[in-house]
Amino acid sequence: MTLIRRIRRAVLFTLLFLISLPFAIAQSCNPGTSSETGSVPCTDCEIGTFQPSIGQTSCLACEAGTFQENIGAIACNDCPAGFGSLQGSSSCTQCAAGEYVPAEGGACTDCPAGKYTNVVGQTACFDCPAGEGSEEGGTFCAACPAGTASQEGTGCQDCEAGSFTSTFGQTACLNCEAGSGSEAGDTSCSLCEVGYFSASAGDACTACPTGSYSTETGSTSCTECSLPYVSFTGGTSYCQRCKRLKKLKLVVQDVENQETQRVTFKGHFFTSRSQYSDFTPNSTGFSVLFYDSDGNQVLDLSLPGEDNDGEWIVKNSKKFKRFTFVPQESSVVSRFFVKARKPAKGAKSKVTMTLILNDSLSLTSETSFSSFAISYGTDEGSLCAYRRLKTKSCKYSQKKDRTRCK
């Protein structure tokens, strides 16, 4: 009997649920209405809003470019072309001068630079004529100022470096002559400064590359330095005289289990304790230049000075100074080490400098050189030394897997 009673109760509850279901559904808010609970009593959606679903707790605002002027709406209407609206609008308005909307249901948009509208309700913007331009959302065009130029509908654009305009309303920029240049948007050209050059008309003034210099303004080319004179930085007006060190050693060795090379320089650079005390990783740069038998520069391995992004690791002791630099930006140099021994009174200091090259460069297989110069420090009077190699001064050791120039 107990089982039969349970079955009867289950059937009774099921029948009651099915009977009450239509009434429960009927109590939910209809589309176009809402309430805090989603059930009756419900309120019609206000103008500028809508609700397409049943049983919702709020109404949705009409998107920009649409409107709804009635209450209890289940959808919004698109504004016609040339008209627009803000979010939650109950009507559309004509786009103002300087604005447009190309199709139904769009929002009024500012005309881009170089185009304009001077009346309301436009579906497209008009192009400014060549030599004239407008700001974004412009209602008129005006002659381009000096230092700029424009074609039809492009807007006034700054002249590129190496070109200029000196008057209003120009349709094209003029090139600066060779030996002179300009910055972007300039109204005239000026002679390139010493240490800079401009090879052709329309070229911007460019810093002389490392290993070269210029001493006059308005240069169209740079002069190559020749050993023992070296230029380790670009944009210079002179070459630095380096000391010749016959015992400056160069060792190139593959890094074990890596596709990189270790390039090490060893020599006695300092002649006084004051030079050793001034030896610091701050405000300094490191450069190595390699030359072929004709004196032409074939390779530049340089680390910029204090502006270079990277990390200096300093580990000093009473007898040594140890600096390690790890560049943040990728270059042919992935790591730089320097170790300097404190000199005895009246003696020279032994310095070891090591570059770890990445796998994009192989010094021995890609580069043929007969001399090299090395510099540490960017200020005048910084450490600078060079070495001319004899024909058979570089030897490869298969046992140690390294090339040594001694």
What residues contact residue 355 under an 8 Å CB cut-off, 6+ apart? 262, 263, 264, 288, 301, 333, 335, 336
Q: What is the pTM assigned to this prediction?
A: 0.61
Domain presence at residue 26: no
pLDDT exceeds 70 at position 305: no
CATH assignment of the domain containing 187: 2.10.50
38 vs 246, which has greater pLDDT?
38
Residue (of 241, 281, 275, 267) closest to 353 by Cα position: 267
Domain presence at residue 177: yes
Q: What percent of the chain stands above pLDDT 90? A: 34
Question: What does pLDDT average to over the chain?
Answer: 82
**Highest mean predicted confidence (pLDDT) among 49-63, 326-340, 346-360:** 49-63
Residue (of 134, 140, 109) closest to 122 by Cα position: 109
Q: What is the pLDDT of residue 367?
A: 60
Tell me the two tokens of residue 170. Answer: 């120009």
Domain that holds residue 232: 193-241
Considering the domain architecture, whether residues 234 and 159 belong to the same structural domain is answered as no
- 201-243 residue pLDDT tens: 999 999 998 888 999 999 999 998 888 888 877 888 988 888 8
Considering the domain architecture, whether residues 177 and 235 belong to the same structural domain is answered as no
Least confident residue range of 32-36, 101-105, 320-324: 101-105
Considering the domain architecture, whether residues 303 and 370 belong to the same structural domain is answered as yes
Residue (of 266, 195, 232, 212) closest to 373 by Cα position: 232
User: Residues 259-283: what's their mean pLDDT?
Assistant: 73
DSSP string, 157-205: EEPPTTEE--SSS-SSPEEPPTTEE--TT-SS-EEPPTTEE--STTPPP
Q: What is the pLDDT of residue 287?
A: 79
What amino acid is encoded at 286 in this protein?
Answer: F
Considering the domain architecture, whether residues 267 and 387 belong to the same structural domain is answered as yes
Considering the domain architecture, whether residues 259 and 175 belong to the same structural domain is answered as no
User: Residues 371-386: what's their mean pLDDT?
Assistant: 71
> pLDDT-based confidence at 381, cuts 50/70/90?
very low
Domain presence at residue 178: yes
Q: What is the pLDDT of residue 196?
A: 95
Considering the domain architecture, whether residues 355 and 298 belong to the same structural domain is answered as yes
Q: What is the pLDDT of residue 17?
A: 61
In angstroms, the CA 131 to CA 115 distance is: 13
Considering the domain architecture, whether residues 233 and 310 belong to the same structural domain is answered as no
Domain presence at residue 122: no
What residues contact residue 379 under an 8 Å CB cut-off, 6+ apart? 283
Q: What is the pLDDT of residue 285?
A: 67
89 vs 343, which has greater pLDDT?
89
Domain presence at residue 206: yes
Residue 306, judged by CB atoms within 10 A of its CB (0-12, 13-18, 19+), counts as exposed
- 52-71 residue pLDDT tens: 999 899 999 998 889 999 99
Domain presence at residue 308: yes
Q: What is the pLDDT of residue 393?
A: 61
Count of domains in the chain? 4
Considering the domain architecture, whether residues 231 and 246 belong to the same structural domain is answered as no
In angstroms, the CA 66 to CA 47 distance is: 12
Considering the domain architecture, whether residues 252 and 210 belong to the same structural domain is answered as no
237 vs 399, which has greater pLDDT?
237
Domain presence at residue 86: yes
Considering the domain architecture, whether residues 229 and 260 belong to the same structural domain is answered as no
Q: What percent of the chain stands above pLDDT 70? A: 84
Q: What is the pLDDT of residue 3?
A: 64
Considering the domain architecture, whether residues 96 and 165 belong to the same structural domain is answered as no
- 12-30 residue pLDDT tens: 667 666 555 554 455 889 9
- 111-127 residue pLDDT tens: 999 999 999 988 899 99
Query: H-helix or E-strand containing 19?
Result: helix 2-26
Domain presence at residue 67: yes
- 275-301 residue pLDDT tens: 777 777 754 567 788 888 888 888 888
